[in-house]
């Protein structure tokens, strides 16, 4: 079974997006949305696209400023949960303690002042590598923890400019966790030696995006913590980059 269709991952991600913070690390989906909006200051904010939206926290956060947010994910379970939150404002989930033990928790939009603009968000199941021609005309595209889960990240990066308006902003955040179960080794855009020198994912992104984008500022580290059980947590540091489409 696809890991992203399981009860276990659904509970972890609802907690990740709407639950408590740990070890002094702030809420990652909300922080990513905040950085996106910093880059959008003084720019048109009509339409945003959230690719790999999971259970929707960044999407709802972007709806504070955008007229419309289209939020896509490949996981049916994640999109069902996001639509439940949009419709009902809350959703119960299982917060595992250890083994079969745990407690019921509730993800709530109102708890984060997100309920009053939820209708601006449209959640759909879709593959970021196979988007239809209707997906264009965006002022912002955000790809959070996505590119290291794609079958062909190079193809995605090569075509992502088509989604944006001229001078639109692309924001990519990823810990670059390169795993062959998601991306065949031959499709990696970095994370190996080239001509005897280290060639990182950021190096690869710069090469692929250069014809259509200018890098905005320097990369930013954005840490996050995902709770698995009461005694096990993933502490990860993503790198966030922002790019402006050339006119």
How far is the first Cα of the chain from the last one, in angstroms, to the nearest whole number? 43
- Pairing, β 164-174 against β 121-125: unpaired
What pLDDT does residue 134 have?
85
SS3 of residue 239 by DSSP = strand
Positions of the chain with pLDDT under 50: none
HSE at residue 124, side-chain half, CA atoms within 13 A, is 10
- Residue 178 to residue 155: CA distance in whole angstroms: 16
pTM confidence score? 0.96
* pLDDT per residue as tens digits for the range 103-158: 999 999 999 999 999 999 999 999 999 998 889 999 999 999 999 999 999 999 99
Please tell me the predicted confidence (pLDDT) of residue 101. 97
Q: Which residue has the tokens 């945003």?
A: 48
- The predicted-structure confidence for 16-30, as pLDDT tens digits, reads as follows 999 999 999 999 999
pLDDT at position 1 is 65
CATH code for the domain in which residue 151 is found: 3.40.50.150
Domain count, the chain: 1
Exposure on the CB side of residue 98, measured as CA atoms within 13 A: 3
| Residues spanned by the domain of 239 | 3-245
28 pairs with which residues across the strands?
none
d(CA 202, CA 157): 12
Structure tokens at 177: 């966790």
């Amino acid at each position: 079974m696809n890991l992203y269709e399981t009860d276990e991952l659904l509970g972890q991600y609802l907690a990740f997006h709407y639950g408590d913070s740990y070890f002094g690390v702030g809420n990652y989906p909300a922080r990513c949305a905040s950085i996106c909006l910093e880059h959008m200051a003084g720019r048109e904010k009509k339409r945003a696209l959230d690719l790999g939206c999971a259970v929707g926290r960044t999407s709802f956060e972007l709806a504070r400023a955008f007229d419309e947010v289209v939020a896509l994910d490949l996981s049916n379970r994640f999109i069902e949960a996001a639509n439940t939150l949009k419709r009902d404002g809350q959703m119960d989930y299982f917060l595992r303690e250890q083994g079969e033990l745990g407690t019921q928790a509730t993800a709530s939009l109102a708890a984060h002042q997100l309920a009053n603009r939820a209708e601006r968000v449209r959640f759909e199941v879709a593959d970021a590598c196979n988007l239809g021609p209707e997906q264009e005309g965006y002022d912002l595209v955000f790809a959070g923890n996505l590119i290291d889960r794609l079958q062909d990240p190079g193809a995605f990066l090569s075509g992502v400019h088509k989604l944006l308006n001229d001078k639109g902003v692309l924001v990519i955040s990823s810990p670059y966790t390169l795993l062959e179960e998601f991306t065949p080794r031959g499709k990696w855009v970095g994370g190996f030696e080239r001509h005897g020198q280290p060639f990182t994912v950021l190096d690869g992104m710069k090469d692929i995006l250069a014809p259509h984008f200018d890098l905005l500022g320097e990369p930013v580290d954005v840490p996050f913590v995902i709770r698995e059980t009461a005694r096990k947590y993933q502490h990860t540091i993503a790198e966030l980059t922002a790019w402006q489409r050339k006119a």
